[in-house]
Amino acid sequence: MGGLAQPRFPISLTVEAITMAKPIAAVTISTGVARRVMSPAAWDLLSRLAEVRVNPHDRSLTEDELAGLLSDADVCLSGWGGGRLTAAVLDRAPKLRMVGYAAGSVKPVVTDAMWERGIRITSAAPAIALDVAETTLALIIASVKRIWQCNQITHHGGWTAQTPMGPSREMNGSTIGIVGAGHVGRRVMELLNMFSAKVLLFDPYFTDAQAAQYQATKVELPELMSQSDVVSLHAPITDETHHMINASMLRLMKDGATLINTARGWLVDEAALAAEVQTGRIFACIDVTDPEPPAPDSPLRKLDNVVLTPHIAGCVTNCTRLGELAVEEIRRFLSGEPLLFEVTREMLSICA
């Protein structure tokens, strides 16, 4: 795509001889999740690194079962449904020192007890970000070109690029607003560099100079909402981001603008969004809701100017990059090498 390099993580999937006694690695994810995230190469490397013990069930483990599986583990490969590392669990896992998390946000797993024991954890969020960013780019382009509106017009006998939301446009000259410069937001900005679009960024933890590295202009949220043709949300779940996109922010959007949410439903006041969308003034592409799934009678399910998808922006069937990255992190930990994507206690307040 225009010469843009696909990010590659330095995953060797090889292992040098380990001189110490073979450590024990516990895989706490269910058999179903393991099929999604673990490639044969990942299993092979993990089995050469350590004696592997797995969750034998196609379900999450109970707290007692999780503690039993981790009782003599040195490292753990966790992920979706892998179980929370509570004090009760960790009291029975005295050897555990590191968790390779084969999913995005580690918040469902970590506890104060984990940090207090000095247990380290890594995240595969950078791998998930690649899929989410590609999906987001597709939604941005489709929104600018008015793909869904033109489809409705042609299905009803029409043939025009002029839609009730405005004419079909080009990426060249469009203004795209990015809310949040985490792994996904940064990757989306990299992808947008292929186009002659103006990119605005709101992220209180990013500097002007950092934004400029992504050919973006850092602005405050109200300016971004009022100036963007497409607003794409990539902020994490924190106290500060809850319903950050509220009625007043939605009212700032241009007529015919599109709101895209491939991050978390937490960010958006959905009642306010439904009310604003029902005016016919803006369009929305919503991949995440709060709660998930939305209620059967949610207005978002019924409105023609809402594209609603069931949380598919990230990987759905081929998620093996996640397991491979988690196993690579385990290899690095056992070999005494720097971890690639460690999450620290201090990072939790600002990361997804």
pLDDT per residue, tens digit, the chain (352 aa), is 344 555 656 666 555 544 458 999 999 999 999 999 999 999 999 999 999 999 999 999 999 999 999 999 999 999 999 999 999 999 999 999 999 999 999 999 999 999 999 999 999 999 999 999 999 999 999 999 999 999 999 999 999 999 999 999 999 999 999 999 999 999 999 999 999 999 999 999 999 999 999 999 999 999 999 999 999 999 999 999 999 999 999 999 999 999 999 999 999 999 999 999 999 999 999 999 999 999 999 999 999 999 999 999 999 888 999 999 999 999 999 999 999 999 999 988 777 6
Distance CA 186, CA 178 (A): 9
Model pLDDT, residue 348: 83
pLDDT attached to residue 18: 47
Radius of gyration of the chain (CA): 22
Q: With CA atoms as reference, report the closest residue to 36 among 314, 265, 236, 329.
A: 314
Instruction: Please tell me the distance from the alpha carbon of residue 27 to that of residue 263, in angstroms, as a whole number.
Output: 27
Taking the C-alpha atoms of residue 280 and residue 305, their distance in angstroms, rounded to an integer, is 7
Per-residue pLDDT at 349: 77
pLDDT in tens, 117-151: 999 999 999 999 999 999 999 999 999 999 999 99
**What confidence score (pLDDT) does residue 21 get?**
81
Residues 76, 55: Cα–Cα separation, whole Å: 11
51 is catalytic: no
Per-residue pLDDT at 199: 98
CA torsion, points 2, 104, 338, 348, in degrees to nearest 10? 120
Indicate the average pLDDT of the chain: 94
pTM above 0.85, yes or no: yes
Report residue 67 as tokens: 């503690």
Q: Which of 169, 242, 251, 311 is catalytic?
A: 311
Q: How much is the pLDDT for 40?
A: 97
Bridge partners of 166, per DSSP, are 163
Query: Using CA atoms, how far apart are residues 221 and 309, in angstroms rounded to an integer?
Result: 26
- Whether the CB-CB separation of 235 and 267 falls below 8 Å is answered with yes
Query: Concatenated DSSP letters for 223-284?
Result: HHHHH-SEEEE-----TTTTT-B-HHHHHTSPTT-EEEE-S-GGGB-HHHHHHHHHTTS-EE
- If one looks up domain 128-308 in CATH, what number appears? 3.40.50.720
Q: Rounded to whole angstroms, how far apart are CA atoms 294 and 265? A: 10
CATH 3.40.50.720 in the chain, residues? Answer: 24-127+317-347, 128-308
Catalytic residue among 63, 116, 240, 292: 292
Q: Clarify whether 97 is annotated catalytic.
A: no
Name the β-bridge partners of 53: 26
Cα–Cα distance, 215 to 203 (Å, whole number): 14
Burial (CB < 10 A; 0-12, 13-18, 19+), residue 64, is: exposed
Task: Count Cβ atoms within 10 A of the Cβ of residue 107 and give its class: 0-12 exposed, 13-18 middle, 19 or more buried.
Answer: middle
Query: Per CATH, which fold does 24-127+317-347 belong to?
Result: Rossmann fold (3.40.50)
Q: Two tokens at 221?
A: 């949220």
Whole-angstrom distance, CA of residue 143 vs CA of residue 260: 9
Distance CA(1)–CA(191), nearest Å, equals: 9
Max Cα separation, the chain?
A: 72
Catalytic residue check, 346: no
Q: Which residue in 146, 183, 187, 264 is the catalytic one?
A: 264
